[in-house]
Amino acid sequence: MGSPEKNESKGGFFSAMTSGWSLFGNAMHRSVNGLLGYEGVEVINPEGGKEDAEEEAQKGRWKQEERDSYFKMMQKYIGSDITSMVTLPVNIFEPMTMLQKMAELMEYSYLLDQADECEDPYMRLVYASTWAISVYYAYQRTLKPFNPILGETYEMVNHGGVTFISEQVCHHPPMSAGHAENEHFTYDVTSKLKTKFLGNSVDVYPVGRTRVTLKRDNVVLDLVPPPTKINNLIFGRTWVDSPGEMVMTNLTTGDKVVLYFQPCGWFGANRYEVDGYVYNANEEPKILMTGKWNEFMSYQPCDLEGEPLPGSEMEEVWRVAATPPNDKFDYTYFAHKINSFDTAPKKLLASDSRLRPDRWALEKGDLSKAGAEKSRLEEKQRAEKRSREAKSDKFSPKWFDQTDEITPTPWGDLEIYHYNGKYTEHRNVIDTSDAIDTGDSQSVEFNPWQYGDSSQE
């Protein structure tokens, strides 16, 4: 497989790619250490240079007294994985859970439909990898989604013929599983995030496995995304970058696409840019791809040196959809759709994220109630854990089964959960029923519990 280092002497496309990495090294030095008397603080202005880091540190969502006290509380966690060990204030959350955020990958699912319909094996990877990139526009939001309660679910059945179900299958470490399907593809993911808190930033490592099966030819695609860095958590304006390599491999043929997410340099240089190639099984470049993960992706056939073929033209394969102006949570229209009760399926599961009282209160702007409900749910989850341990019992997901498979990832081993098909059966029974659903989904009490008075049937 080609690499920037091997090809930078040739100039052209690869040379442009490597310039971003040198800028990244410089950008990381735009820090203010010992700011306000605290060590370990790094502040980065994505639109500025190294001189304005101290000015940038005074900006952001926090008032100064809140910022100082929160940093003092968090300082002891520097270097730690904070995925599930820290109780966070509700004002840094968005009214959505991680299960719902997983569903945002389905916004541009038509790209997978096109991949399935495509005869050219390399263009299949262009469409499929562009689908994987398309969600990063939504992932740049800086508010944190809620961690799901064990047994919590999210379901979607009304988008492009896609049926989507996700479930929180483990509490510690937090793990989610998801399955989506339509006539063209199936999508299966087991997700476990790993983090490293660095004082004013956090590195997020996607310890997960994502598989897409294109139904027409039974082609299986495996996706390994890049890590993400969330900058200026406490001091400065929070922003997200995902510098690194995304690899999608056709496990059926050995073809693959390797895309480099360029790091943000001084004054925003190279921010959002994605460049790379589709390779055949012999690791020869066939198609070059370039674009910005928050705007568009394009492609062009190339020669064995990675240069555009004479007479060919760059063609756009995807462009981000229009978004609501001045949206309170920076949501897309699709994010509002997956959060809405208006688009909830008939006889919504009581464990669905839409029904969470803390999420719902935050969406309505009631931070006090959202904080109180969040604390109540977390305590109830701890109580259920104590009850389960007293019975020497183990939690069993409803829609996914844990397998014996352990798969390696770049950031650690991962236990794999497999979709068991029961949700499809459940939804088919409801959809073919002659009974009229007269219930109001919003009136259903949130109920992911398996023990105690709130045990599900």
Q: What is the pLDDT of residues 68-119, one digit of tens each?
A: 888 888 888 888 888 766 677 888 899 999 999 999 999 999 999 999 999 9
Amino acid 48: pLDDT: 85
* Mean pLDDT along residues 398-416: 94
Name residues whose C-beta falls within 8 Å of residue 51's C-beta, 6 or more positions apart in sequence.
none
Amino acid 307: pLDDT: 97
Amino acid 37: pLDDT: 56
pLDDT surpasses 80 at 197: yes
Cis peptide before 308 (omega within 30 of 0): no
DSSP 76-92: GGTTS--TTT----GGG
The token pair at 198 is 């660095």
What proportion of the chain, given as a percentage, has pLDDT over 70?
88
- 159 vs 113, more confident: 113
Rounded alpha-carbon distances, angstroms, from residue 77 to 17, 73, 200, 296, 390: 35, 8, 11, 38, 31
Q: How far apart are CA 419 and CA 211, in angstroms?
A: 12
Amino acid 243: pLDDT: 95
Three-state SS at 343:
coil
User: Quick one: how far is CA 230 from the chain centroid?
Assistant: 13
* Mean pLDDT along residues 206-221: 96
Amino acid 12: pLDDT: 37
pLDDT surpasses 70 at 452: no
Measured at the CA of 192, the angle between CA 184 and CA 345, to 5 degrees, comes to: 45
Angle formed by the axes of helices 121-134 and 110-117, to 10°? 170
Q: How far apart are CA 342 and CA 425, in angstroms?
A: 23
pLDDT surpasses 70 at 454: no
Domains of the chain: 1-355+397-457 (2.40.160.120)
* Mean pLDDT along residues 180-193: 96
pLDDT surpasses 90 at 53: no
Amino acid 433: pLDDT: 82
Amino acid 89: pLDDT: 83
147 burial type by CB count under 10 A (0-12 exposed, 13-18 middle, 19+ buried): buried
Amino acid 456: pLDDT: 39
* Mean pLDDT along residues 348-369: 96
* Mean pLDDT along residues 394-405: 96
* Mean pLDDT along residues 437-449: 82
Q: How far apart are CA 259 and CA 251, in angstroms?
A: 17
pLDDT surpasses 80 at 173: yes
Residue 272 gets the label, from left (phi > 0), alpha (psi -120 to 50) or beta, of: left
Question: Which of 10-19, 327-336, 351-360 is predicted with the least confidence, judged by mean pLDDT?
Answer: 10-19
Question: Which of 82-91, 200-209, 321-330, 396-405 is predicted with the least confidence, judged by mean pLDDT?
Answer: 82-91
The token pair at 68 is 């100082």
Amino acid 435: pLDDT: 61
pLDDT surpasses 80 at 13: no
Q: Average pLDDT over the chain, rounded to whole?
A: 88
Q: How far apart are CA 338 and CA 253, in angstroms?
A: 35
pLDDT surpasses 60 at 55: yes
Q: How far apart are CA 133 and CA 320, in angstroms?
A: 11
Question: Which of 179-183, 258-262, 451-455 is predicted with the least confidence, judged by mean pLDDT?
Answer: 451-455
Amino acid 85: pLDDT: 67
User: Quick one: how far is CA 347 from the chain centroid?
Assistant: 27
265 burial type by CB count under 10 A (0-12 exposed, 13-18 middle, 19+ buried): buried
